[in-house]
C-alpha cells in the first residue's frame, strides 16, 4: 500500500480488459461519490487505448442516469498492446497530465491492475483498483464484480439443458467461461447438480467422469451433465466429448455457453458490490491511499496492495467440487 499527500481535484475512471456486468454501477458510484465530495470526474474511453489516444472527457451526474441496470460498460473497454511498452505508457501519462488528472480509478482484472501498478511505480500517478471480472480470479478479493451475474446466467442455461438431457436420456457437456479459473465452473456445477466438474487446476479426469456416469446409470440415472471451464481457449468440451466417445461409445452432446455469460443486466448482488467498491475507491484516494485494490473479505471491504494482487494466484475452491461430486452420487 502506498500513500501520497497531493490534494486531488480531478480523477479519471476507466474500465479495462473483459467487460463484466456491474461495471456501469461501479462507474456510477465513482462519478456520483466523487462529485458529492467536490471532485471533477473524467471518463477515459476504452481503457488504456483511450488513455494513449487521449479519449478523456468530463462526466456529469446526468451521464449516470439509467446505467446501473445495464450490462457492459458505457466507457467501453479494450486491451492495449501499446501500453505494455514504456513509450506507450509515457504517452498515456502525458495525456493524463495534459488533462490535469490527479488520480485514477481502474475497474478491471489482473492485467488491468498490472498496468495501474506500473502507472504508480513509474510515474507516481495515484491509482486505486476495483476488481471487475466474471472469472472471480483476482487474488485478495473473495468476490469480483460480474461473477454473480455470470454464474446465474450460466445456471439458467444449464437448467434448461438439463430438461433436454432428461427428456432424451442424454449426456451433456456444458462449457463455461473462466479461462484458467475454475470459479464459474465450480459454482454452477454445484448449484446445477452436475455429475462432474472439470477445471484447469482440478484433478478430475475423463476416466473418473466415466466411472461417475456409469455409477449413476447403475442406480437408474438416465441423463448426466458435466461442467467444464474453457481453459486456455474455448472448445475444451469437444475434446472431452470425443475422449468419452472413444472410451465408452457414449454420445456426449456439447453446449458452449460463451460470451453470453459476460452480458446481461447485473444481479442485485453485483450492483451492490460495484456501488460499494466504486465509492470506497474514491474515499481511499481522498484519504491519500493508492496502489491498492478494493477487495472483499466476507462482506467487509478491504484494501490490498496491487503488487500483492498481481504477483499471486487465486485458487479454485476445490471443496465445492468435492461437495458437488458427493451430492451428485
SS3 of the chain: helix, strand, coil, percent, to 5: 45, 20, 35
Contact call for residues 244 and 171 (beta carbons, < 8 A):
yes
In what order do the strands lie in the sheet containing 127-131?
A: 56-59, 40-44, 10-15, 103-108, 127-131, 292-297, 300-305
Contact call for residues 48 and 115 (beta carbons, < 8 A):
yes
Active-site residue, selected from the candidate residues 19, 102, 110, 135: 135
Whole-number Å distance between alpha carbons of 228 and 196: 8
Cα separation values, 98 from 51, 59, 187, Å: 11, 17, 45
135 is a catalytic site residue:
yes
The secondary structure element, H or E, covering residue 22 is: none
- CA angle at 138 for the pair 55 and 121, rounded to the nearest 5°: 55
Q: 329: which residues sit within 8 A by CB, 6+ positions away?
A: 212, 215, 216
Whole-number Å distance between alpha carbons of 262 and 19: 7
The x, y and z cell numbers of residue 188, run together, are: 454452477
The x, y and z cell numbers of residue 17, run together, are: 480488459
Contact call for residues 147 and 178 (beta carbons, < 8 A):
no
Count the Cβ atoms, other than its own, within 10 Å of residue 77. 24
Active centre residues (catalytic): 135
Amino acid at each position: 500500500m502506498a500513500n501520497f499527500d497531493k490534494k486531488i481535484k480531478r480523477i479519471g475512471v476507466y474500465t479495462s480488459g473483459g467487460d463484466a456486468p456491474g461495471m456501469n454501477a461501479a462507474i456510477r458510484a465513482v462519478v456520483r461519490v466523487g462529485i458529492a465530495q467536490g471532485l471533477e470526474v473524467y471518463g477515459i474511453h476504452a481503457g488504456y487505448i483511450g488513455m494513449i489516444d487521449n479519449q478523456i472527457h468530463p462526466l456529469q451526474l446526468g451521464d449516470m442516469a439509467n446505467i446501473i441496470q445495464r450490462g457492459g460498460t458505457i466507457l467501453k473497454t479494450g486491451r492495449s498492446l501499446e501500453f505494455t511498452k514504456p513509450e506507450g505508457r509515457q504517452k498515456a501519462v502525458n495525456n493524463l497530465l495534459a488533462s490535469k488528472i490527479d488520480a485514477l480509478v481502474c475497474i478491471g482484472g489482473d492485467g488491468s491492475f498490472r498496468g495501474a501498478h506500473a502507472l504508480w511505480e513509474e510515474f507516481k500517478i495515484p491509482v486505486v483498483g476495483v476488481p471487475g471480472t466474471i472469472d472471480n480470479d483476482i487474488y485478495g478479493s473473495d468476490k469480483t464484480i460480474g461473477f454473480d451475474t455470470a454464474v446465474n446466467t450460466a445456471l439458467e442455461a444449464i437448467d434448461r439443458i438439463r430438461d433436454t438431457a432428461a427428456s432424451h436420456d442424454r449426456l451433456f457437456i456444458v462449457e463455461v467461461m473462466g479461462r484458467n479459473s475454475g470459479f464459474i465452473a465450480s459454482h454452477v456445477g454445484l448449484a446445477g447438480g452436475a455429475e462432474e466438474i472439470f477445471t484447469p487446476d482440478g484433478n478430475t479426469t475423463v476416466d473418473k467422469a466415466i466411472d461417475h456416469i456409469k455409477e449413476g446409470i447403475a442406480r437408474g440415472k438416465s441423463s448426466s451433465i458435466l461442467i467444464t471451464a474453457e481453459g486456455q481457449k474455448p472448445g475444451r468440451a469437444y475434446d472431452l466429448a470425443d475422449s468419452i466417445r472413444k472410451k465408452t461409445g457414449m454420445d456426449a452432446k456439447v453446449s458452449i455457453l460463451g460470451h453470453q455469460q459476460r452480458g446481461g443486466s447485473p444481479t442485485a448482488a453485483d450492483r451492490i458490490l460495484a456501488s460499494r467498491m466504486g465509492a470506497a475507491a474514491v474515499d481511499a484516494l481522498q484519504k491519500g491511499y493508492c496502489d491498492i485494490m478494493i477487495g472483499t473479505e466476507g462482506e467487509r471491504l478491504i484494501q490490498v496492495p496491487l503488487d500483492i494482487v498481481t504477483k499471486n494466484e487465486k485458487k479454485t475452491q476445490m471443496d465445492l467440487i468435492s461437495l458437488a461430486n458427493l451430492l451428485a452420487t
